[in-house]
Amino acid sequence: MQRFLSDRVVLVTGIGRKGQVGEAVASALADAGASIAAVDILADVAEERVTALRSRGAQADAYACDLTNESAVQSLAATIASRYGGRIDGVVNVAGGFGMASVADSALQVWQRQLALNLTTAALTTRAVLPLVRAARGAFVFFGSAAALPGASVKDVAAYASAKSGVLTLMRAVAEEERSSGVRANAVAPISIRTADNEQSMGPDARYVEREDVARVVAWLCADASRPMTGQVIALG
């Protein structure tokens, strides 16, 4: 197995429970040699994932943080800066959430929740850790969605698709603004990913992209092999 991320530190937000996409992403990064800073809103979830990563020989640390809380994110960034010598090589913004509702039936809280889970988490994290990524001339990977791509059906997912469209805009802004600093920013835009939650709600026979396929693309986007690609959206599935 090629360890093309040896001696690199990658922050993964929304690490999630077993069976979710964050687990696959962190595992692929660790298998490539990266040390993982695993973040989840729940401390026990982050610790569980880190224990699993360490059991397979990876270096990993767990951090609990509400990524919609600006002061909490700033505190997280300070802790990570101290832990990793003021630099990190990659940031994968997995944190997010899905919700369905028609425009007519979606209350304000639906829109606020989708924007908070998907866009606010990515924006606050990116801004807080940007100096650390600049120091490493590193990479950001954002999670968009096929629903945010031109021509996609957005029936009953307007709030979610709007939030993910914002994530793609955020990615492009980082790519343009940080080009001179050597920082890269790209995004993946998958169809529904085969996760435990999705299979429970949508059934096993729905159209999915596999978690492991998404994770391999994410790991590649964190590696030098993808340089100097920046500002790009990779559709998956």
**pLDDT value, residue 46:** 98
**pLDDT value, residue 1:** 61
Residue with tokens 């909490």, as numbered in its chain: 72
Instruction: Note the pLDDT tens digit of each residue in 23-79.
Output: 999 999 999 999 999 999 999 999 999 999 999 999 999 999 999 999 999 999 999
Question: Residue 4 falls within a domain, yes or no?
Answer: no
Average pLDDT, the chain: 96
We report the CATH number of the domain holding residue 38 as: 3.40.50.720
Backbone angles phi, psi at 34, to 5 degrees: -75, 150
Domain that holds residue 59: 9-236
Question: Residue 48 falls within a domain, yes or no?
Answer: yes
Rounded Cα distance, 146 and 156, in Å: 14
> In terms of Cα–Cα distance, which of 49, 76, 80 is closest to 64?
76
Rounded Cα distance, 89 and 47, in Å: 22
pLDDT value at 196 more than 90: no
Question: Residue 49 falls within a domain, yes or no?
Answer: yes
Question: Residue 2 falls within a domain, yes or no?
Answer: no
Q: Is residue 152 within 8 Å of residue 162, measured between CB atoms?
A: no
Q: Helices in the chain by DSSP H: which ranges?
A: 21-31, 43-55, 70-83, 108-114, 121-136, 158-177, 196-202, 211-222
Q: What is the mean pLDDT of residues 170-182?
A: 98
pLDDT value at 201 more than 80: no
Rounded Cα distance, 191 and 207, in Å: 8
**pLDDT value, residue 197:** 81
The domain total for the chain is 1
Question: Given pLDDT bands bounded at 50, 70 and 90, which one contains residue 118?
Answer: very high
Question: Residue 1 falls within a domain, yes or no?
Answer: no
Question: Residue 212 falls within a domain, yes or no?
Answer: yes
Q: Is residue 207 within 8 Å of residue 160, measured between CB atoms?
A: no
pLDDT value at 203 more than 90: no
Rounded Cα distance, 89 and 98, in Å: 28
Question: Residue 3 falls within a domain, yes or no?
Answer: no
Question: Residue 207 falls within a domain, yes or no?
Answer: yes
Q: What angle do CA 113, 153, 196 make, to 5 degrees?
A: 60
Q: Is residue 176 within 8 Å of residue 222, measured between CB atoms?
A: no
Instruction: Note the pLDDT tens digit of each residue in 74-100.
Output: 999 999 999 999 999 999 999 999 998
